């Protein structure tokens, strides 16, 4: 077998093992180990085991993920979410899918500030999903909206992915930031439209709440509305005014949640312990997948499969639209297994010369590329946002349900993408004015 064949065989074996219900991180890691040994040699495969796990995990910037998980768990354990969602139920009760739409807005805002999909999913899975389930929302809708809304964080500035893309392709980060706003908002609007339409057509998805509330109930809800907004605004405000960085924001968020809970006297020692243990459990189960995925990305790079695929798909196409469609296909395919940054690193050197040859605007393409890469965060079999939600909620939801729920958002994204591709002005209007 040549290395390309080993790469393809690796993907097939991984798919089979995942279907047989072996743990996702284990599958990725073990297939990567075998594949790297087959392509190079045993010593090299052991070398990867030394080089990756500890060094990948020991990153300051990754620490935001467990800290946002902790924030979410504490907020949920201490009931910081009750008042806001009770009020939302009263106000939005009759709007089809109202809670899901509100969640999309809130987590898109949060994601835009934190700049990380995974961190947002970590924060909101415990904050929003159980509240929606309480209102009898189908778990696919409840989890899908959190998984998908997180992906908007990379589109709406600031965004680490846009920064990396800008540096990597030598495109103005300022222009990319400005360009991302409208497509980001458009994506959120499209999500909300989809949620509303689907819930309107199928009321079992998100039952409307037609219970009448007494004055006292309404007052009680309203009086307790502040904790969650205070928490989220505290985190967002601190990031935007530069008091702390997005990496530090997770710990601040957790600390702030504890403070607010202490103010409300709603935090028991037991609840803290539970939140902390659950955070540890969630952190381990998510990052073992991330380790496997990182090893798998090395295996893919070594197999030259992404290059071969790019070459195969792009060599014989010469219109801009056809190229973009091919790249979309390529990114969605690679996005099944490989993380956003690795895909960018592996493909941009091949893609960029082609795009430059065609005179494609790299700001426009950047927004489309980021949108495509973020879709990979919620596609099976390896969709990190989905796994974050699953690990936060345990057996309360099934993984298949989350992927199924996310699929509606992916379809919506495809509509948005089509608009962005057909009408570059949507993306380029604002940066044009700024010039």
Task: Give residues 363-402 in contact with Na ion (rule: CB under 5 A).
Answer: 376, 379, 382-383
* Smallest separation, CB 403 to Na ion (Å): 10
**Residue 411 interaction partner, one of Na ion, another protein, none, beta carbon < 5-8 Å per kind:** none
Q: Closest CB to Na ion among 239 and 261? A: 239
Among another protein, Na ion, none, residue 393 binds (CB under 5-8 Å by kind): another protein
Within residues 95-134, the interface with another protein by CB under 8 A covers 115
User: What is the smallest separation between the CB atom of 298 and another protein, expressed in angstroms?
Assistant: 6
How far out from the chain centre does Cα 283 lie? Answer: 16
Count the residues of the shown chain that bind Na ion, applying the rule CB under 5 A.
Answer: 11
Calculate the dihedral angle through the C-alpha atoms of 195, 200, 205, 211, rounding to the nearest 10 degrees.
120
247 counts as binding Na ion under rule CB under 5 A:
no
Vertex 26: Cα angle to 21 and 29 (nearest 5): 135
- Please tell me whether residue 361 binds another protein under the rule CB under 8 A: no
Instruction: Take residue 344 and report the two structure tokens written for it.
Output: 């960018």
Q: Whole-number minimum distance, CB 346 to another protein, in Å?
A: 6
Longest distance between any two alpha carbons in the chain, whole Å: 73
Q: How far is the CB of 257 from another protein (least distance, A)?
A: 10
| Closer by beta carbon to another protein, 97 or else 238 | 238
Between residue 51 and residue 80, which ones bind Na ion under the rule CB under 5 A? Answer: none
Applying the rule CB under 5 A, the residues between 308 and 367 that interact with Na ion are 335-336
188 binds, among another protein, Na ion, none (CB under 5 to 8 A by kind): none
Binding of Na ion at residue 159 (CB under 5 A)? yes
Rounded CA gap, 175 and 166, in Å?
Answer: 9
- Separation CA 425–CA 414 (nearest Å): 18
- DSSP string for residues in 238-259: HHHTTSS-HHHHHHHHHHHHHH
With contact defined as beta carbons under 8 Å apart, do 109 and 130 qualify? no
CA distance 165 to 169: 6
Other CB atoms closer than 10 Å to residue 23's CB: what's the count?
Answer: 15
Q: How far apart are CA 417 and CA 409, in angstroms?
A: 12
Does position 429 interact with another protein (CB under 8 A)? The reply is no
Q: 205-234 mask for another protein (x: CB under 8 A)?
A: ------------------------------
Residue with tokens 């846009």: 162
Give the C-alpha separation, 369 to 366, whole Å.
5
Per rule CB under 8 A, is residue 254 in the interface with another protein?
A: yes
Task: For residue 282, state whether it binds Na ion (rule: CB under 5 A).
Answer: no
Question: Could you tell me the smallest distance in angstroms from the CB atom of residue 150 to Na ion?
Answer: 10
Nearer to another protein, 67 or 127 (CB): 67
Among 115, 234, 292, 306, the residue binding Na ion under the rule CB under 5 A is 115
Residues numbered 15-54 forming contacts with another protein, rule: CB under 8 A? 17-27, 29-30, 33, 36, 40-41, 43-44, 46-54
Report helix, strand or coil for 172: coil
Q: What is the dihedral of CA 28, 29, 31, 36, to 10 degrees?
A: 130
For residue 398, give both structure tokens.
Answer: 């099934």
Residue 17, binding choice from another protein, Na ion, none, Cβ under 5 to 8 Å by partner class: another protein
Is residue 172 a contact point for another protein (CB under 8 A)?
yes
In the list 1, 5, 174, 423, the residue contacting another protein (rule: CB under 8 A) is 174
* Residue whose CB is less far from Na ion, 335 or 431: 335
Give CA–CA dist 85/76, Å, rounded: 12
Residue with tokens 């093992």: 17
One residue of 186, 220, 298, 414 binding another protein per CB under 8 A: 298
- Residue 379 binding result from Na ion, another protein, none, given CB thresholds of 5 to 8 Å by partner type: Na ion
CB environment 147-160: b (16+ within 10 A), e (fewer): bbbbbbbbbbbbbb
- List residues near Na ion by CB under 5 A: 112, 115, 153, 156, 159, 335-336, 376, 379, 382-383
């Amino acid at each position: 077998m040549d290395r390309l064949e080993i790469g393809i065989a690796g993907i097939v074996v991984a798919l089979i093992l995942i279907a047989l219900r072996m743990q996702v991180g284990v599958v990725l890691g073990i297939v990567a180990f075998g594949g790297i040994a087959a392509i190079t040699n045993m010593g090299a495969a052991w070398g990867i085991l030394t080089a990756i796990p500890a060094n990948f995990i020991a990153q300051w910037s990754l620490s935001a993920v467990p800290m946002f998980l902790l924030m979410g768990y504490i907020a949920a354990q201490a009931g910081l979410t009750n008042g806001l969602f009770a009020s939302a139920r009263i106000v939005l009760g009759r709007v089809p899918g109202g809670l899901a739409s509100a969640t999309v807005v809130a987590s898109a805002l949060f994601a835009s500030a934190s700049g990380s999909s995974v961190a947002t999913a970590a924060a909101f899975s415990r904050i929003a999903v159980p509240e929606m389930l309480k209102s009898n929302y189908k778990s696919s809708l409840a989890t899908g909206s959190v998984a998908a809304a997180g992906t908007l964080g990379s589109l709406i500035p600031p965004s680490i992915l846009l920064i990396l893309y800008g540096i990597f392709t030598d495109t103005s980060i300022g222009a990319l930031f400005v360009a991302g706003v409208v497509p980001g908002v458009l994506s959120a609007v499209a999500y909300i439209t989809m949620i509303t339409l689907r819930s309107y057509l199928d009321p079992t998805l998100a039952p409307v709440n037609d219970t009448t509330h007494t004055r006292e109930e309404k007052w009680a809800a309203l009086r307790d509305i502040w904790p969650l907004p205070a928490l989220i605004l505290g985190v967002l405000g601190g990031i935007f005014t530069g008091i702390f960085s997005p990496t530090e924001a997770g710990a601040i968020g957790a600390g702030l949640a504890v403070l607010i809970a202490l103010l409300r006297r709603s935090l028991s020692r037991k609840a803290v312990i539970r939140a902390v243990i659950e955070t540890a459990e969630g952190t381990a189960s998510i990052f073992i997948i991330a380790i496997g995925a990182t090893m798998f990305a090395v295996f893919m790079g070594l197999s030259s499969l992404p290059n071969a695929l790019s070459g195969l798909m792009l060599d014989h196409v010469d219109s801009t639209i056809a190229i973009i469609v091919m790249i979309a296909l390529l990114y969605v395919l690679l996005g099944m297994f490989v993380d956003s940054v690795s895909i960018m690193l592996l493909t941009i050197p091949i893609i960029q010369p082609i795009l430059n040859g065609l005179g494609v605007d790299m700001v426009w393409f950047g927004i489309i590329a980021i949108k495509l890469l973020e879709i990979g965060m919620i596609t099976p079999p390896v969709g990190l946002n989905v796994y974050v939600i699953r690990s936060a909620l345990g057996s309360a939801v099934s993984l298949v349900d989350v992927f199924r729920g996310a699929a509606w958002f992916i379809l919506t994204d495809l509509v948005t993408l089509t608009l962005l591709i057909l009408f570059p002005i949507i993306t380029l209007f604002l940066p044009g004015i700024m010039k």
